[in-house]
Amino acid sequence: MLTNKSILITGGTGSFGRAFVKTLLERWPHLRRLVVYSRDELKQFEMQQAFPAQRYPGLRWFIGDVRDEARLTRALEGIDVVVHAAALKQVPAAEYNPFECIKTNVLGAQNVIEGCLSAGVQNVVALSTDKAAAPVNLYGATKLCSDKLFVAANNIKGSRDVRFSVVRYGNVMGSRGSVIPFFLERRKSGVLPITDPRMTRFNISLQQGVEMVLWAIENALGGEVFVPKIPSYRITDLATAVGPDCRQEVVGIRPGEKIHEEMITASDSFNTVDLGRYYAVLPVGGNYDVDEYCRLRGAKPVAPGFAYDSGSNPEFLSVTKLRELIEHLGTGVQA
């Protein structure tokens, strides 16, 4: 699929970027070029120690921001596939600095699109978030705008051979800034803060996210928002798995936070299909309708009114399973 291809990943020094680069280099050692594009020179330096030039001559390191259209356009020269992972993601920071979030997540997304169209890129996959479904905070709203931009980019490609698609999933298990590292740190105090005991979240591993993006690169027709079928967990069960002897203290839900993660709303059900491993939310008024897409991909339409959220999800992880997964992360929690 990617042999002799040139690939660029924006935000390539983040948790996803590192895992994505590692997987690509293991499976496709003969990539023509793999460009890591990010604005943090320290993270690039640290990442270069893990991927030395002598062993990986196809790796390139571009300092740049997706806000900088000229720099991005230069980096995209000769690129076949783009994975757009760069974003400002912290909900409180976005609420306090709203236009900075807009500059990166919305204007930066459009810069990626324009650069890909100009450079002749063939395949573009953008990473989204559950918070883009019925957003209640600015971060989610900017990612919804980004999703819409990438889906609509298929309408302006003209005769270019390019596909734009989106991959949407929730917080990655154990990633920086997520609840597991937070609980692991706070368990030393003997008290774990619970925003709301009813709260649930989807669970996806970093590698599952990587595999989904690779699947989208190979299978997207263009315009889809792909959503994985993954299990949920209760926040109280996660707290028990991390600190079984800790007291759980309810502190109240934070501004911009949902009780349950949503990835597909009931309003999306009329243009959502079931692909087996994944759902796909199809573009309204795109180049194909639901019936045609189902014929092309062997998919099935979901029932009208279908919604996919972590609270009504039929599959939940037990405390035992959560402990096993956390131990697999190498966090020091014993199962």
CB atoms within 10 A of CB 22: 16
Question: Which of the following is catalytic: 43, 89, 103, 131?
Answer: 131
- pLDDT by residue for the chain (335 residues), tens only, comes to 798 999 999 999 999 999 999 999 999 988 999 999 999 999 999 999 999 999 999 999 999 999 999 999 999 999 999 999 999 999 999 999 999 999 999 999 999 999 999 999 999 999 999 999 999 999 999 999 999 999 999 999 999 999 999 999 988 887 777 899 999 999 999 999 999 999 999 999 999 999 999 999 999 999 999 999 999 999 999 999 999 999 999 999 888 889 999 999 999 999 999 999 999 999 988 788 999 999 999 999 999 999 999 999 999 999 999 999 998 886 444 43
Can you tell me whether residue 162 is helix, strand or coil?
coil
CB atoms within 10 A of CB 225: 27
The pTM score is 0.94
> For residues 30 and 274, what is the distance between their CA atoms, to the nearest angstrom?
34
> For residues 286 and 229, what is the distance between their CA atoms, to the nearest angstrom?
24
pLDDT at residue number 332: 45
- Name 164's bridge partners: 124
Q: What CATH architecture does domain 6-168 belong to?
A: 3-Layer(aba) Sandwich (3.40)
- The alpha carbon of residue 176 and the mean position of all alpha carbons in its chain are separated, in whole angstroms, by 13
> For residues 186 and 102, what is the distance between their CA atoms, to the nearest angstrom?
32
Can you tell me whether residue 52 is helix, strand or coil?
coil
Is 131 known to be catalytic? yes
Name the residue ranges covered by the structural domains of the chain.
6-168
Among positive and negative, which fits the CA dihedral 275, 281, 285, 290?
Answer: positive
> For residues 331 and 184, what is the distance between their CA atoms, to the nearest angstrom?
8
